[in-house]
Amino acid sequence: MKNRFPTAVTVSLVPEARGGPFVYWDDLDAAISTAAELGFDAIEIFPPSPDVLDARRLRQKLTEHGIKLAAMGTGAGWVVQKLRLTDPDPMIRSKARAFVASIIDFAGRLGAPAIIGSMQGRVDPGTDRGQVLAWMTECLDQLGPRAHQFGVPLLLEPLNRYETNLFNNVGSTLDYLTSLRTQNIKLLCDCFHMNIEEASIEDALRQAGSRLGHVHLADSNRRAAGLGHIPFEPIFRTLTDIGYQGYVSAEVLPLPDTASAARATILAVRS
């Protein structure tokens, strides 16, 4: 049976991210073959850095199993190295930017976008919000065109208030994006964060419209779609209405176990 939307599933290769919303862990080859068998169209990789990956081998594995790379996360820059694109320390900002650039380059060669989630950082107490946004702008105006060279966007993900105070919802993030020189930044909308921050998930998706570049499909409790209390039918209907062509990617906890979480996602997308 064909998926109604192209589907992806997350694979973490970062031991320090243990407990995070990743369906598969550690063994990339096994994740690729299992995801393909279950009917996923792509995988989304969360690597410690591009250095641990062999691009040629990865491409070969993906081709062998008939699936694609949907996107690549940059969060290990924060989780492992404590880098943030908006850190008050210019050295840390510059390292953070180089880290994200390395993922843009790696994923870009495989036709996939990089994701900026936790690497956006936050407005620390005593730091001026305008200054933090100016640092972000300087950074995105460099990294957006870098991604463009590969014909892919750069994805910016609003996160819920317990994870950042910088970009929390679609409306304010869209306003910010229009202020940039680069128009190559697209929104990543994550249903788990939206369930906390948006008045209406559907209205927010409609507002994102053509700027929507990627969707993290997760339920209210960050389990697979259908295992919490978000009604997904209106969400899928809205995605169809706005002509969304991107991935719905299961960035969810491996609960009750990896196999069940993966299967629940495929079921939710097909039903």
Binding site for Mn ion (CB under 5 A): 190, 216, 251
DSSP 69-130: EEEEE-THHHHTT---TT-SSHHHHHHHHHHHHHHHHHHHHTT--EEESGGG----TTS-HH
Closest of 64, 73, 55 to residue 110, by C-alpha: 55
CB of 266 to Mn ion, least distance (A): 19
Q: Catalytic pick from 44, 157, 197, 198?
A: 157
CA distance 253 to 21: 4
CB of 251 to Mn ion, least distance (A): 5
**Count of helices and strands (H, E) across the chain:** 10, 9
- Of the pair 61, 216, the CB lying nearest Mn ion is at 216
DSSP secondary structure code for residue 229 in this structure: S
Which amino acid is located at 238 in the chain? T
Q: Tell me the Ramachandran region of residue 151: left when phi exceeds 0, alpha when psi lies from -120 to 50, beta otherwise.
A: left
Query: Catalytic annotation on 157?
Result: yes
Query: Catalytic annotation on 251?
Result: yes
> Contact, 28 vs 45, CB < 8 A?
yes
CB of 169 to Mn ion, least distance (A): 14
- Of the pair 145, 228, the CB lying nearest Mn ion is at 228
Q: Catalytic pick from 44, 197, 198, 251?
A: 251
- Of the pair 146, 216, the CB lying nearest Mn ion is at 216
CB of 265 to Mn ion, least distance (A): 14
- Of the pair 197, 251, the CB lying nearest Mn ion is at 251
- Residues carrying an active site annotation: 157, 251
